[in-house]
Chains A and B, each alone.
Chain A
Amino acid sequence: MDSVAAHASSLDSVAFVGVMDFPCSTRGQAEIREAIKENGLGRFVVAGCSPKTHERTFRRVAAGAGLNRFMFEIANIREQCAFVHAQPEATEKAKVLVEAATSKCRLLFPAPYEQVPVSSKRVLVVGGGLSAMIAASHVSDQGFGVVLVDPKGTLDEVSVTTTHRGVPAEYVRKIVKGLKSSPSTRMLFGAEVVDFQGHPGDFRALIETPEGEEDVRCGAAILALDAVPFASRAKSEDERVITQGEFKKLLSSQTTGLGKVVMIFPKDSSEGTCGRSCHLGAITNALRLKELLPSADVTIICNEVRTYGMYELDYRKAQECGIRFVRCEGEAVIQHEGGLRVLVTDAYSDTTLSLPADLIVLSDLLKPQDTRRLAKIFRIPVDMNGFLAVSQVRLEPASTLREGVFLCGSATGPRLVSEELLEASAAASGAVSLLSSSFIEIGGSVAEVDPEKCSVCLSCIRSCPYTAPFINENGKAEIDIQTCQGCGICVGICPSKAIQMYGYTDAQMEAQSSASIRGGGR
């Protein structure tokens, strides 16, 4: 440690070097603050843990010492040096790392920083299905206002059916009743969101209601839209070819004429998506038929079977009670003339099977509706099938690339009902935790355009995942720092080098790189 400190002291423009056990501890922080004040330092380097651990702590230290909170640099001499290298290389490398961080630190300049108050404590929920209800009720239960925009006005319909896709009607009715009686909840039926502006904590939505346009302020938004199931092209006029939904209804009334049933799982195509919900639905129906009519001959034609977790037990049960699963490659062909038949090539034996059928059941495909229009209004991405895209499925479920906008419902992809319920809760808690904070921090490592250099080529506008850049009234690109998430994609792509990024300018990165290569060992 002492030799690293000695090396640091020998570097240009280093005025003070302190050695301490834990700079991140309260005492360490106080020592740094004191050193800054006593020596009139303008910036500092911390050599210690990964910035991932304590970057925020040192931002507070900088702010507490009267500096801009981004005027420091961390040299990671622990996780990326001491822990992985043997002596004496580790010490030598630590010297270089400190030198590199110092070279970069020398070039830092104050970054913009603002605390924006969360001024609206209301959540906009868009959608009229189960997810929308659950999300709205969770938000409302935690004491925040809700504006529910239901484009189709189907919320009432949902409450009258006995069970809603496996969720007890009693539960659904209770939730709808709770929402309707809550004084902080407003419901706009048959309404559409036509514009959505602002930043987390203070969005403005323009909503078209049957009574006219309305301006609604909200702190966060939840898009709880459902994809619409529809029959695939293979479904024809033939009454013997039906969908899983129709088959389920049929099973509740009769089982005659169901001796030979062939189910076909569709392949994902441009037409629509078939997910685990359709696979599980088909297996549930097949098992039900076997229960009612054990002599029934059921064949399921599939490419793969997606029944994860405990649902694998259903799949196993289906196999045990004699339901045949045929893996096919290519399309299954339905023959209508001369007795209903399905022609399919078995992937394992590579032979063509001709399966006679009394009834052919096709799975419904799911297709998100209206998502592209809404995605444009809310400035969030959609995937290639038109489903709304969640930013990080594992780390931030229900979040989108736009902070403050959350997602749930099957318009984000085919889902089981249990998953929809979970996701609606996740979206609600995301929105609530955002609104619970009193302010939102903006600034830091954001990109900025130098209007002198900007040639208005629109590269930044095209490449930004967040739609932060826009063309301002002077006809030059400008980056909205509230929207900018600091990825730096536009900085690297700008052909005029007009964009720089606080904390990661070309000069800073090159200084660090250069010192990393040449540093140490003097």
Chain B
Amino acid sequence: MTDRIRIVGYCCSYGGYSSADLAGILHIGYSPDVMIIRIPCAGRIDVLHILRAFRDGADAMFVAGCLEKNCNYEYGNFEAKKRVEHAKRLLSDIGIEKERVEMFNVASNQRWRFPEIVREMVSRVEDLGPSPLKKVVK
């Protein structure tokens, strides 16, 4: 395991992922520490995915869905928000800062938004330091 920061971003195909693609097409750079995983809808996210990302040694993770009330699948992003909130509670219970997890809402045409999200998460990790679980992950 190296010391570099690792942030996992579960991005919905219509909002987060498309926004990241658009940022790419326009060459708007962001930190390479973020690893994007495509999911069909933010509603696919499970609390377990969030927790397991930390078990695997992630320093932070986020879910990027469509804008509220504009979800391609009507309310998948609301479902995701609930699950992210739940994961935050579980993580704070075991002593991991809840700021390491966040739900974002992005529209596919917001080219500046994805890099902004990455900056936000990277700065949070810089403030908080590496994940406390990282030491025990082999």
Q: How far is the CA of A370 from the CA of B20 in the complex (A)?
A: 42
Partner-binding segment picked from B69-77, B92-100, B120-128: B69-77
Whether B2 contacts A521 by the Cβ 8 Å rule is: yes
Whether B40 contacts A487 by the Cβ 8 Å rule is: yes
Least Cβ–Cβ distance between B93 and chain A, in angstroms: 20
Whether A518 contacts B56 by the Cβ 8 Å rule is: yes
Whether B27 contacts A84 by the Cβ 8 Å rule is: yes
Q: List A residues 476-522 near B (Cβ within 8 Å).
A: 485-489, 491-493, 501, 504, 506, 509-510, 512-514, 516-518, 521
Whether B40 contacts A510 by the Cβ 8 Å rule is: no
Q: How far is the CA of A513 from the CA of B51 in the complex (A)?
A: 11
Whether A100 contacts B35 by the Cβ 8 Å rule is: yes
Whether B29 contacts A381 by the Cβ 8 Å rule is: no
Whether A513 contacts B44 by the Cβ 8 Å rule is: no
Contact partner of B24 (CB less than 8 A), chosen from A50, A392, A486, A487, is A50
Contact partner of A485 (CB less than 8 A), chosen from B27, B28, B56, B73, is B73
Least Cβ–Cβ distance between A48 and chain B, in angstroms: 12
Q: List B residues 99-119 near A (Cβ within 8 Å).
A: 115
Contact partner of A465 (CB less than 8 A), chosen from B23, B40, B74, B83, is B74
- CB-based nearest B residue for A521: B2
A445-B40 CB under 8 A given contacts A492-B46, A513-B8, A517-B58:
yes
Q: Does A80 contact B (CB under 8 A)?
A: yes
Inside 8 A of A52's CB, which chain B residues have their CB? 13, 17-18, 21
Q: List B residues 1-50 near A (Cβ within 8 Å).
A: 1-2, 4, 6, 8, 13, 17-18, 20-21, 23-25, 27-30, 32, 35-41, 43-46, 48-49
Whether A50 contacts B49 by the Cβ 8 Å rule is: no
Inside 8 A of B37's CB, which chain A residues have their CB? 100, 509, 512-513, 516
Q: Does A304 contact B (CB under 8 A)?
A: no
Partner-binding segment picked from A87-95, A148-156, A235-243, A248-256: A87-95
The A contact surface, by secondary structure, is: helix
Inside 8 A of B18's CB, which chain A residues have their CB? 52
Q: Does A79 contact B (CB under 8 A)?
A: yes
Inside 8 A of A513's CB, which chain B residues have their CB? 8, 35, 37, 49, 52-53, 56, 58
Q: Does A317 contact B (CB under 8 A)?
A: no
A79-B43 CB under 8 A given contacts A51-B38, A465-B73, A516-B37:
no
A517-B73 CB under 8 A given contacts A80-B20, A487-B41, A512-B37:
no
Inside 8 A of A90's CB, which chain B residues have their CB? 32
Sample (20) of A-B pairs whose CB atoms are under 8 Å apart? A76-B38, A79-B20, A79-B23, A81-B32, A83-B25, A83-B27, A84-B29, A84-B32, A84-B115, A85-B30, A90-B32, A487-B73, A488-B41, A489-B43, A489-B79, A492-B44, A492-B79, A506-B46, A510-B52, A513-B56
By a beta-carbon cutoff of 8 Å, the part of chain A in contact with chain B is 50-52, 76, 78-81, 83-86, 89-90, 92-93, 96-97, 100, 381, 391-392, 401, 445, 463, 465, 485-489, 491-493, 501, 504, 506, 509-510, 512-514, 516-518, 521
| Closest CB pairs A-B (n = 10) | A488-B44, A79-B24, A489-B43, A516-B35, A487-B73, A487-B41, A83-B24, A465-B74, A89-B32, A85-B32
